[in-house]
A and B are shown apart, each in its own frame.
Chain A
Amino acid sequence: MNQPKSSLGAKLTTSAMIASLAEPGQRTRPAPFGHALAALAEHRSEIVGMTADLGKYTDLHVFGAAHPSRYYQMGMAEQLLMMSAAGMAREGFIPFATTYAVFAARRTYDFIAMAIAEENLPVKIIGGLPGLTTGYGPSHQATDDIAIFRAMPNLTIVDPCDAVDVEQAVPAIAEHAGPVYMRLPRGNVPVVFDEIDDYRFELGKAKLLRDGRDVLIVSSGFMTMRALETAKRLQADHVEVGVLHVPTIKPLDHATILREAGRSGRLMVVAENHSVIGGLGEAIATLLLTSGVTPRFRQIALPDAFLDAGALPTLHERYGISVSAMARSVKSWL
């Protein structure tokens, strides 16, 4: 983190509430979503951007600067955002509708279900501040967005890891014929996957980023970055850790997950920036059990609770999703 670790006596500042997730010295790219959408819109005239008064905070303003006539500011009215996105989709456009993940998942569920998903309209809902990426408090911490959206039929759900994932996911979800919910890393987003040979985001596919004999961490979103770091740390302790990145949570890549889960003797840990309830972990647990595949199984996830307000580094450590907390947890389970 860009802030010193919380320790006895040293309280972190307010700016740490919205700290970038980048580690000190980590490479980042600015607003990958906004730039990718602007680039895509150059040759796809049906793409429009819509927001509920959060254009500047979801990187959509970058798209808006490049394509001002295609930028629709709907005001702080999230239900209207979804309804009007449905209407534009009915008229042949592909709307990317942005707001915070909390508002998309909680305030607008019925509107997405009835106006968009039931008819399979090509609306791409983009949710900023996924999981615990702000210290602002429960009003802005979307710890339940995946749980909420997994229950919606016809909806594809994407949780990208880094700037590369975001840049490649944008055209992929635009290409997909139906509705999509994508969690959005915003601002200066870390770049990690450019160092992984042949990495390519594919909608609906899980990717084994590194193999390991003792543990398999299955993760999505920024937790995959943390899983890779955890794997490096545990290697020093002679624990071999594999990492399976699952950027598409719905539909799950059953074949890849079951194949990797079936390696006997390996502990499976699902790590997610989401409540322990209803997210990637429970989705995989159901898949494993109904398929008769039963590895030793643990979850690293946020607790079923309204989380504290405070500095992100403190909160990530407190709730077990920092790299050091992850490494401790995995070692304790061996």
Chain B
Amino acid sequence: MGAVQGQGYVGQALGVADVLSVAYFHALRFRPEDPAWEGRDRFLLSVGHYAIAHYAVLIEAGIIPPEELESYGCDDSRLPMSGMATYTPGMEITGGSLGQGLGIAVGMALGLKRKSSRSLVYNLLSDGELDEGSTWEAAMSAAHWRLDNLIALVDVNRLQADGVSTAVLDFEPLVDKWQAFGWHVQRVDGNDIAALVRAFDLARAIAKPKPRMIICDTRIGKGVPFLENRERSHFIRVEPHEWQLALDALDGSAVTATDEHRVRQP
């Protein structure tokens, strides 16, 4: 998709790919042919510009046809650059404005409890998104309402639009903050598949009347060494010849999926 446009939020997508893979192929209940199935676990992308990553996993999961890949970011495409619920099957919310998804997730979790549903709500945030005050209203509320059907994920790559997060608006210590807000918190290497699998399992199994947070430390451009160290990597420019180099680097380091990671059927 990035090659179609020549640029994009490719660095973040590479970093968060492992988190999305484990979410969709180990944890989430869903039906690829019926993305609005009432019994599904809901996965909210509250960081809209990560759509490029989300589309990749939706395609792998069979929710979006692979031939639509090339339409990314083009006119009349179902895959706009910023994730929007009205455009794309499997895209639960419109996350372009950041800081809104967690609050919507609170409402959905409340609604699911009202309906006595077993479905879970996941919300993926970026670390920069933690700057938004609305995120913290939602955090307080989730604990207040004891929303044990709500699992939040934060992609911590320590970089945002205007630079390194510690210089822009330092958000650490994150574990302490989320615990103080009443959440069950885990912090893991977001590019370690086995660690992610354990974290998702624990987040779902823990029997506390609290919402669950998995803080994922990831690396921008993970898997493509020349992108991992690129400056100005919030919105990466990639030269036409570099796309094939990147694909080669990723293929070379691919982890083979095991039976444990197969798509879970309901």
Q: Which residues of A contact B (CB under 8 A)?
A: 48, 72, 74-75, 77, 79-80, 82-93, 110-111, 114-115, 118-119
Residues of B contacting A48 in the complex (Cβ-Cβ under 8 angstroms)? 114
**Contact between chains at B107 and A90 (CB < 8 Å):** yes
Closest to B102 in A: A83
A86 to B92, CA, bound (A): 12
Max chain B C-beta neighbours (<10 A), residue from A48, A91, A119: A91
Supposing A92-B111, A93-B111 touch, asked if A87 and B103 sit within 8 A by C-beta, the answer is yes
**Contact between chains at A83 and B107 (CB < 8 Å):** yes
**Contact between chains at B112 and A77 (CB < 8 Å):** no
Query: Closest 3 A-B residue pairs measured CB to CB?
Result: A87-B107, A83-B103, A91-B111
The residue from A86, A110, A114 contacting B107, defined by CB atoms under 8 A apart: A86
Residues of A contacting B111 in the complex (Cβ-Cβ under 8 angstroms)? 87-88, 90-93
Residues of B contacting A92 in the complex (Cβ-Cβ under 8 angstroms)? 111, 115
Main secondary structure of the interface of A (DSSP, over half): helix
Residues of B contacting A90 in the complex (Cβ-Cβ under 8 angstroms)? 92, 104, 107-108, 111
Residues of A contacting B104 in the complex (Cβ-Cβ under 8 angstroms)? 83-84, 86-87, 90, 115
Supposing A114-B94, A114-B97, A118-B86 touch, asked if A79 and B110 sit within 8 A by C-beta, the answer is no
A84 to B105, CA, bound (A): 7
Q: Does B177 contact A (CB under 8 A)?
A: no
How close is B182's CB to chain A, nearest CB, in angstroms? 14
The residue from A87, A89, A118 contacting B109, defined by CB atoms under 8 A apart: A87
Residues of A contacting B89 in the complex (Cβ-Cβ under 8 angstroms)? none
Interface hits, B39-98 → A, CB 8 Å: 84-86, 92-94, 96-97
**Contact between chains at B138 and A83 (CB < 8 Å):** yes
Contact with A along B104-143 (1 / 0, CB 8 A): 1111111110110000000000000000011001101100
Give the B interface residue count (CB, 8 A): 29
**Contact between chains at A79 and B137 (CB < 8 Å):** yes
Closest to A89 in B: B107
A92 to B106, CA, bound (A): 15
Closest to B145 in A: A72
A74 to B141, CA, bound (A): 7
Supposing A115-B93, A118-B86 touch, asked if A87 and B106 sit within 8 A by C-beta, the answer is yes
Residues of B contacting A72 in the complex (Cβ-Cβ under 8 angstroms)? 110
How close is A288's CB to chain B, nearest CB, in angstroms? 34
**Contact between chains at A87 and B110 (CB < 8 Å):** yes
Closest to A82 in B: B103
Q: Which residues of B contact A (CB under 8 A)?
A: 84-86, 92-94, 96-97, 100, 102-112, 114-115, 133-134, 137-138, 140-141, 144
Task: Given A90-B111, A93-B111, output 19 extra A-B contacts at Cβ < 8 Å.
Answer: A75-B144, A79-B103, A79-B133, A79-B134, A83-B102, A83-B104, A84-B103, A84-B110, A86-B103, A87-B104, A87-B111, A91-B108, A93-B114, A111-B134, A114-B96, A115-B93, A118-B86, A119-B85, A119-B86
How close is B215's CB to chain A, nearest CB, in angstroms? 22
What would be 5 A-B contacts, judged by CB atoms less than 8 Å apart?
A48-B114, A75-B140, A75-B141, A82-B103, A87-B104
A79 to B114, CA, bound (A): 22
The residue from A80, A88, A91, A118 contacting B94, defined by CB atoms under 8 A apart: A118
The residue from A93, A111, A119 contacting B103, defined by CB atoms under 8 A apart: A111
A90 to B86, CA, bound (A): 12
Residues of B contacting A93 in the complex (Cβ-Cβ under 8 angstroms)? 111, 114
**Contact between chains at A114 and B109 (CB < 8 Å):** no
Supposing A118-B86, A118-B94 touch, asked if A91 and B134 sit within 8 A by C-beta, the answer is no
Residues of A contacting B115 in the complex (Cβ-Cβ under 8 angstroms)? 91-92
Residues of B contacting A84 in the complex (Cβ-Cβ under 8 angstroms)? 103-104, 106-107, 110, 138, 141
How close is A97's CB to chain B, nearest CB, in angstroms? 10
A120 to B172, CA, bound (A): 37
A115 to B100, CA, bound (A): 8
A136 to B107, CA, bound (A): 32
Residues of A contacting B112 in the complex (Cβ-Cβ under 8 angstroms)? 91
The residue from B100, B105, B108, B144 contacting A114, defined by CB atoms under 8 A apart: B100
A48 to B85, CA, bound (A): 23
How close is A196's CB to chain B, nearest CB, in angstroms? 40
Supposing A87-B110, A93-B114 touch, asked if A80 and B103 sit within 8 A by C-beta, the answer is yes
Residues of B contacting A75 in the complex (Cβ-Cβ under 8 angstroms)? 137, 140-141, 144
**Contact between chains at A115 and B94 (CB < 8 Å):** yes
**Contact between chains at A80 and B141 (CB < 8 Å):** yes
Closest to A76 in B: B137
